């Protein structure tokens, strides 16, 4: 009986080959999984009828890649959640006018927003924008890029006077939730493009 058990536990050549294939596939799947998302910090405070919000993240990317993603407004719909339209409608020197349409999401609820931004590009490390038309009573914001170690720190500061009626903390939660989702998506896209560019350059070296 013992000898029979030993023979049954010993894998055949076909079984060994199948196990090798499964193991190789498992390694391939693990390698294909995206790296952990960049960790953002975010804070929102109410000041009268406005909400001040700050966000920051340290990115595994270079300044040129971060700036390229930040200023590629026509591609925002490809990676910013709940954004249906983003297009440049005018450009005057370093000032860009961008129209955006999307939804402000809070749990199962979504509220449509249409905003036209006037953005001042201070290349290569700063953007300043203000809403000049649309659904919000007022909205100003800025992005700043600061080299840090081998990467780059992206800071966001926004001041928002929502144009929809919610109650106190719910309104603040809605703003913080949506800014956090969009800021996270922006950070992830910067790191994704940086990794893709690095892989392409490494492939060219071979």
Eight-state DSSP code of residue 62: -
**Which domain range does residue 168 map to?**
39-205
Q: What is the pTM of this model?
A: 0.78
Are residues 47 and 23 located together in one domain of the fold? no
**CA–CA separation, 62 and 135 (whole Å):** 35
pLDDT band, very low/low/confident/very high, at 49 (cuts 50, 70, 90): confident
Residues 152 and 121 in one domain: yes
Q: Are residues 125 and 158 in the same domain?
A: yes
Q: Are residues 55 and 98 in the same domain?
A: yes
Taking the C-alpha atoms of residue 88 and residue 98, their distance in angstroms, rounded to an integer, is: 4
On whether both 13 and 45 belong to a single domain, the answer is no
pLDDT tens by residue, 151-192: 999 999 999 998 665 556 778 888 899 999 999 999 999 999
pLDDT (0 to 100) of residue 148? 95
Q: Are residues 85 and 159 in the same domain?
A: yes
In angstroms, the CA 70 to CA 85 distance is 16
- Do both 22 and 57 map to the same domain? no
Banded model confidence at residue 18, pLDDT cuts 50, 70, 90: very low
The per-residue pLDDT for range 26-36, each reduced to its tens digit, is 333 333 334 45
99 and 66 belong to one structural domain: yes
Total tally of structural domains belonging to the chain: 2
Q: Is the domain of 54 the same as that of 119?
A: yes
Give the CATH number, domain containing residue 179. 3.30.530.20
Lookup: tokens for 150? 């081998």
Do 100 and 12 reside in the same domain of the chain?
no
Q: How confident is the model at residue 200 (pLDDT cuts 50, 70, 90)?
A: low
Q: Are residues 8 and 63 in the same domain?
A: no
Q: What is the pLDDT of residue 105?
A: 79
Helices and strands in the chain, H and E counts: 4, 8
DSSP-assigned letter for residue 171: H
> Residue with structure tokens 């490390």?
125
pLDDT greater than 80 at residue 10: no
> Does residue 115 contact residue 135 with C-beta atoms inside 8 Å?
yes
In this prediction, residues 66-78 reach a mean pLDDT of 98
């Amino acid at each position: 009986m013992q000898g029979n058990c030993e023979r049954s536990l010993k894998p055949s050549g076909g079984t060994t080959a199948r196990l090798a294939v499964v193991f190789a596939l498992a390694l391939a799947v693990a390698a294909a999984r995206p790296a952990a998302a960049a960790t953002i910090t975010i804070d929102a405070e109410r000041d009268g009828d406005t909400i001040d919000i700050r966000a920051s993240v340290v990115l595994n990317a270079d300044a040129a890649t971060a700036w390229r993603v930040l200023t590629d407004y026509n591609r925002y719909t490809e990676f910013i959640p709940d954004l249906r339209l983003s297009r440049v409608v005018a450009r005057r020197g370093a000032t860009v006018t961008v129209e955006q349409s999307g939804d402000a999401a809070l749990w199962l609820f979504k509220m449509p927003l249409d905003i036209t931004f006037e953005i001042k590009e201070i290349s290569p490390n700063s953007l300043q924008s203000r809403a000049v038309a649309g659904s919000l009573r007022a909205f100003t914001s800025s992005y700043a890029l600061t080299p840090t170690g081998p990467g780059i720190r992206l800071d966001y500061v926004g001041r928002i006077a929502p144009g929809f009626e919610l109650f106190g903390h719910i309104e603040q939660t809605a703003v913080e939730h949506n800014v956090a989702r969009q800021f996270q998506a922006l950070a992830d896209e910067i790191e994704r493009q940086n990794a893709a560019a690095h892989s392409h350059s490494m492939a060219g070296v071979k």
